């Protein structure tokens, strides 16, 4: 493409009449490598007069430096490696404006090596232009891209049959290519809105109809773009709101998340899957500027990031999915999904990965690979035990803990998810079927490892060692947290120092030596239990730093010191067992805090101040800590 | 959802809340420019009137006096936990870089020091895709190596607003909540929300204003009569000049900005 070419088609240049305001409509341009994507983008920007001053000259210089005549691709291929090797590595974006609206073009690499970057770009689009070389027809990456567009949920597709000049603007040859493209796309469920014969290089049928294709009666490419409808937000579907986080910046407990579908109103009854707790929306919270009068809203719609309070303190955590009780999602632990795999390492039957849907993450096992798809000819194979990189397959995943979701065909935004392996997203999936099955007992041989147990339980074992004064709230906290962990399907037990004195430790008194032995035995038992995969909550005053250090020595890295703090005066005023009164009267000797020392932890993993937090909040803080600390 | 600015805002709030939920310790970069002011504003919306992590100004000592005055005023008014450590001197930067790039590279070094000093696992930066072609290639959650380096050849996939946030040891995450905004979006939002900006953005009596704000010596004003936000928006509607034309560090050589970014610049 030379700049001169542009000059001889001055009619193609529209004046920029459109407004820069309003949402930029996102379109992705995909297609096989060298079918002319980058040139098309350059042409779109040029013909809509959207290039900044000096850009053409800069591209000319960059091209000349590499001994090339003129390369539109350098407009988007900004990285040195892309320019030097003449290949688009990563997705990028660029803006242009027609008389009708603003657009953002998402350029997606055509090379198979960079399919993950193509997916990253295409997933952001509302519509797509598929570029097909008129002389070559459909090529492998065109097919793969088209299939992925469909999986990514893009339903509006226009096809640019490019390089029409290279087939002599021939109507019959165009019709043959167009028919094969239309047929393939129909087979995978894509109905094309237009098939436009174009020459990105010469400008044919991009902004204005070309006299060289007088036989063509359809829209120009820009006309086809302007006919696309913005993707509508699903405000009229049932409410789905994945919980992102809980904030306690002041005395309020605020739930935050984005409404994926439906609407949220003050007074709505909400159900939080998968635990099924229910509460009513008490208020929508927002900040609108310092000193600004808050606008009281009572409704928010799909697409909004919201913050709200509930009328009661039910247990809610990140990963919960809020809905209305009568239109709830499915709670499933066996999921059939259509998957595209992006990781270098293939996905094999039996692999364990993290499934993420909304904000929920679950350990999942690949139970079966029911079919793999050859995107070239849409042939299905049912005998594969792994999905190769860039492959498409139908898989069955099983999670130990149920996850709330929808079927993709019914509610797309909560009917899709990603698989994560290591630190990265390794694949994407849309859910075709999901049900809930009873847990199987996984057969294990005699040498059961900690990893085996963690996989079975969905969490690792370990010890939460609650230390603090008598009356600080250790036992209450231990019991409440045990209940909450149990409700989540976790394996949990409480070892209470006082209770063990009735049995295992009944030979011990309250001398410093006996108390040290008491702590040692607690630690040994806790370790045995943690080794069998349990989350063990130890509730014991364990007053001396040296005692707790010894416990840590015994338990090892899974020892988590939690300081349950309340001032002595507060503990004494609570005095749940009447012990302080007896200690003050001299009835009890060597009572911690009164007549024996308490050495507060200097580096506890977590400090919970029970004078500041309600029992429910304290339990939630510890629950949150446990969930994070013992995640697999 | 009422208009396109609401949609941009909702997306940024979602990203900021993901970052705060998944990555700690976290800090936000405050260059004192229009974009990072919008970012702080969005954080206050996300976190209901507060910014629950430190805000860092990488101070080269070369900001305009108006910029420092703005910082000192709004750090207080907005209740920010401000970190304003001085960046290492020019002599500490890579002598192989062009001169203007070296001035900018001081910020890269300052950021590295801050990441190490405050053990940061996440840094929120207000870059936008439409500012510069290499920024257009960025991810929303962009992992950086130990030395802050950007592995642009092998970026992780990102789709449907799922951001992988687990970090291997030695890696920190750059989080970009404004990536999807454009320059004119920013100004329309500043106008709608009445967000304060450094007065240097508005034309003075000599018919000059700064369109992009950076250090003295490597940042130059443009010819403009736009003296208020309305006029700036009107100017942007028709301008044919790129936003960062007045930033000398971008133009030392074809790959000047890419080299800066690969080495860890924002």
Helix/strand/coil (H/E/C) assignment for every residue in A512-570: HHHHHHHHHHHHHHHHHHHHCCCEEEEECCCCCHHHHHHHHHHHHHHEEEEEEECCHHH
Q: Does B193 touch chain A (CB under 8 A)?
A: yes
Are the beta carbons of A80 and B255 separated by less than 8 Å? yes
CA distance A236 to chain B (A): 13
Name the pLDDT band for B1 (thresholds 50, 70, 90): low
Are the beta carbons of B157 and A94 separated by less than 8 Å? no
Residues on chain A touching B182 (C-beta within 8 angstroms): 20, 24, 95
CA distance A274 to chain B (A): 20
* Closest Cβ–Cβ partner in A21, A22, A93 for B136: A93
Q: How confident is the model over B153-174, as a mean pLDDT?
A: 89
| Confidence at residue A279, expressed as pLDDT on a 0 to 100 scale | 96
Q: Say if CB A355 and CB B58 are below 8 A apart.
A: no
Are the beta carbons of A423 and B194 separated by less than 8 Å? no
* Closest Cβ–Cβ partner in A20, A116, A256 for B237: A20
Are the beta carbons of A304 and B14 separated by less than 8 Å? no
Six-digit token string for A187:
């087979």
Q: How confident is the model over B47-53, as a mean pLDDT?
A: 96
The larger pLDDT score, comparing residue B125 to residue B257, is at B125
| Confidence at residue A396, expressed as pLDDT on a 0 to 100 scale | 96
Instruction: Of A128-132, A532-536, B149-153, B226-230, give the lowest mean pLDDT range.
Output: B149-153
Q: For A422, name the nearest residue in chain B, comparing CA atoms only.
A: B166
| Confidence at residue A130, expressed as pLDDT on a 0 to 100 scale | 94
Are the beta carbons of B48 and A287 separated by less than 8 Å? yes
| Confidence at residue A107, expressed as pLDDT on a 0 to 100 scale | 82
Instruction: Tell which B residues from 207 to 236 touch A, by Cβ distance under 8 Å.
Output: 236
| Confidence at residue B237, expressed as pLDDT on a 0 to 100 scale | 85
CA distance A357 to chain B (A): 9
Q: For A412, name the nearest residue in chain B, comparing CA atoms only.
A: B160
Q: CB neighbours (10 Å) of residue A387?
A: 25
H-helix or E-strand containing B185? Answer: helix B183-193
Residues on chain A touching B153 (C-beta within 8 angstroms): 81, 89
Q: Does B254 touch chain A (CB under 8 A)?
A: yes
Per-residue pLDDT reduced to its tens digit, A342-382: 999 999 999 999 999 999 999 999 999 999 998 877 888 98
The larger pLDDT score, comparing residue A94 to residue B117, is at B117
Residues on chain B touching A65 (C-beta within 8 angstroms): 254
Residues on chain B touching A101 (C-beta within 8 angstroms): none
| Confidence at residue A522, expressed as pLDDT on a 0 to 100 scale | 93
Substitution target from B76, B134, B162 for chain A, most A beta carbons within 10 A: B162
H-helix or E-strand containing A102? Answer: strand A102-107
* Closest Cβ–Cβ partner in A51, A62, A307 for B48: A307
What mean pLDDT is reported for chain B? 91
Of A95, A559, A349, residue with least CA distance to B237: A95
| Contact residues for A537 (Cβ-Cβ < 8 A; gap 6+) | A463, A464, A466, A478, A481, A482, A492, A493, A494, A495
ipTM (interface pTM)? 0.93
Q: Does B170 touch chain A (CB under 8 A)?
A: no
Give the phi and the psi of residue A370 in degrees, each rounded to 5. Answer: -75, -35
| Confidence at residue A447, expressed as pLDDT on a 0 to 100 scale | 66
| Confidence at residue A359, expressed as pLDDT on a 0 to 100 scale | 97
The verdict on whether A73 is a catalytic residue reads no
* Residue bearing tokens 């439906």: A262
| Confidence at residue B154, expressed as pLDDT on a 0 to 100 scale | 82
Q: Which residues of chain A have pLDDT under 70?
A: 1-21, 292-294, 438-447
| Confidence at residue B11, expressed as pLDDT on a 0 to 100 scale | 97
Give the phi and the psi of residue A452 in degrees, each rounded to 5. Answer: -60, -45
Of A628, A463, A490, A493, residue with least CA distance to A562: A463
- Given a cut of 80, is residue B30 above it in pLDDT? yes
CA distance B253 to chain A (A): 11
- Given a cut of 80, is residue B251 above it in pLDDT? no
Length of chain A: 632
- The verdict on pTM exceeding 0.90 is no
| Confidence at residue A531, expressed as pLDDT on a 0 to 100 scale | 87
Of A121, A138, A110, residue with least CA distance to A30: A110
CA distance B86 to B81: 16
- Given a cut of 70, is residue B244 above it in pLDDT? yes
Choosing from A50, A210, A542, A619, the catalytic residue is: A542
Q: Say if CB A128 and CB A27 are below 8 A apart.
A: yes
């Amino acid at each position: 493409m030379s700049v001169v070419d542009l000059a001889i088609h001055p009619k193609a240049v529209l004046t920029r009449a459109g407004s820069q305001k309003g949402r930029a409509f996102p379109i992705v341009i995909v297609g096989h490598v060298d079918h002319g994507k980058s040139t098309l983008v350059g042409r779109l920007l040029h013909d809509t007069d959207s290039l900044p001053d000096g850009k053409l000259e800069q591209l000319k210089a960059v091209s000349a430096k590499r001994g090339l005549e003129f390369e539109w691709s350098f407009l988007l291929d900004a990285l040195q490696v892309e320019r030097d090797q003449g290949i688009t590595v990563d997705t990028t974006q660029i803006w242009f404006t027609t008389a009708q609206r603003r657009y953002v073009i998402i350029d997606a690499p055509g090379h198979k090596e960079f399919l993950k970057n193509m997916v990253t770009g295409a997933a952001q689009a509302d519509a797509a232009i598929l570029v097909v070389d008129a002389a070559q027809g459909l090529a492998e990456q065109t097919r793969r891209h088209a299939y992925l567009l469909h999986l990514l949920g893009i339903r509006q597709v226009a096809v640019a049959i490019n390089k029409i000049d290279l087939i002599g603007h021939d109507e019959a040859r165009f019709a043959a290519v167009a028919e094969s493209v239309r047929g393939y796309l129909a087979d995978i469920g894509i109905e094309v809105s237009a098939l436009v014969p174009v020459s990105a290089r010469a400008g044919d049928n991009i902004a204005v109809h070309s006299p060289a294709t007088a036989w063509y009666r359809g829209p120009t490419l820009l006309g086809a773009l302007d006919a696309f409808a913005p993707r509508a937000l699903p405000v009229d579907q049932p409410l789905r709101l994945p919980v992102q986080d809980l904030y306690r910046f002041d005395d309020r407990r605020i739930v935050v998340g984005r409404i994926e579908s439906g609407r949220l109103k003050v007074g709505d009854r909400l159900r939080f899957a998968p635990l099924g707790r229910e509460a009513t929306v008490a208020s929508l919270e927002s900040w609108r500027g310092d000193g600004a009068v808050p606008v009281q809203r009572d409704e928010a719609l799909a697409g909004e990031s919201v913050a709200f309070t509930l009328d009661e303190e039910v247990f809610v955590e990140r990963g919960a999915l809020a809905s209305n009780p009568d239109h709830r999602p499915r709670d499933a632990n066996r999921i059939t999904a259509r998957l595209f795999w992006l990781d270098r390492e293939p996905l094999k039957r039996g692999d364990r990965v993290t499934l993420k849907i909304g904000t929920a993450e679950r350990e999942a096992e690949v139970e079966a690979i029911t079919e793999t798809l050859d995107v070239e000819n849409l042939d299905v194979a049912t005998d594969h035990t792994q999905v190769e990189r860039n492959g498409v397959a139908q898989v069955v995943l099983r999670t130990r803990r149920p996850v709330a979701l929808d079927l993709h065909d019914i509610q797309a935004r909560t009917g899709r998810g990603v698989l994560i392996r290591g630190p990265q997203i390794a694949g994407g999936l849309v859910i075709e079927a999901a049900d809930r099955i009873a847990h199987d007992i996984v057969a294990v041989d005699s040498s059961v490892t900690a990893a085996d147990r963690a996989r079975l339980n969905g969490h690792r074992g370990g010890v939460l060692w609650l230390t603090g004064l008598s009356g600080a709230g250790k036992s209450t906290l231990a019991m409440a947290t045990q209940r909450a962990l149990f409700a989540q399907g976790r394996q949990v037990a409480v070892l209470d120092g006082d209770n063990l004195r009735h049995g295992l430790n009944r030979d011990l008194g309250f001398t410093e030596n006996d108390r040290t032995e008491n702590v040692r035995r607690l630690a040994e038992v806790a370790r045995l239990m943690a080794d069998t995969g349990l989350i063990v909550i130890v509730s014991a005053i364990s007053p001396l730093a040296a005692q707790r250090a010894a416990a840590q020595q015994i338990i090892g890295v899974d020892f988590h010191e939690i300081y349950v703090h309340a001032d002595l005066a507060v503990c004494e005023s609570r005095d749940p067992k009447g012990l302080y009164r007896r200690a003050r009267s001299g009835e009890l000797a060597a009572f911690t805090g009164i007549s024996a020392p308490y050495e507060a932890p200097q580096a506890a993993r977590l400090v919970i101040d029970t004078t500041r937090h309600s029992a429910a909040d304290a339990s939630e803080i510890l629950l949150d800590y446990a969930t994070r600390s013992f995640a697999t | 959802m009422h208009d396109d600015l609401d949609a941009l805002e909702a997306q940024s709030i979602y990203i900021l809340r993901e970052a705060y939920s998944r990555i700690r310790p976290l800090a936000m970069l405050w260059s004192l420019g229009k974009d990072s002011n919008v970012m702080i504003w969005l954080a206050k919306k996300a976190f209901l009137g507060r910014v629950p992590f430190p805000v860092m100004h990488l101070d080269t000592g070369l900001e305009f006096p108006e910029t420092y005055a703005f910082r000192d005023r709004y750090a207080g008014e907005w209740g920010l936990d401000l970190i304003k450590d001085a960046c290492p001197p020019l002599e500490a930067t890579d002598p192989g870089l062009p001169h203007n790039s070296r001035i900018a590279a001081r910020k890269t070094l300052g950021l590295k020091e801050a990441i190490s000093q405050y053990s940061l696992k996440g840094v929120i930066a207000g870059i936008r895709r439409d500012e510069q072609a290499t920024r257009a290639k960025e991810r929303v959650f962009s992992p950086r190596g130990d030395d802050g380096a950007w592995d642009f050849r092998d970026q992780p996939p990102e789709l449907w607003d799922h951001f992988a946030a687990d970090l291997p040891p030695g890696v920190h995450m750059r989080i970009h909540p404004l990536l999807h905004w454009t320059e004119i979006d920013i100004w329309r939002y500043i106008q709608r929300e009445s967000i304060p900006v450094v007065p240097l953005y508005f034309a003075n009596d000599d018919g000059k204003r700064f369109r992009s704000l950076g250090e003295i010596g490597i940042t130059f004003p443009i010819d403009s009569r736009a003296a208020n936000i309305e006029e700036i928006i009107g100017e942007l509607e028709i301008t044919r000049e790129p936003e960062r034309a007045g930033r000398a560090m971008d133009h030392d050589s074809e790959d000047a900005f890419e080299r800066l970014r690969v080495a860890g610049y924002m």
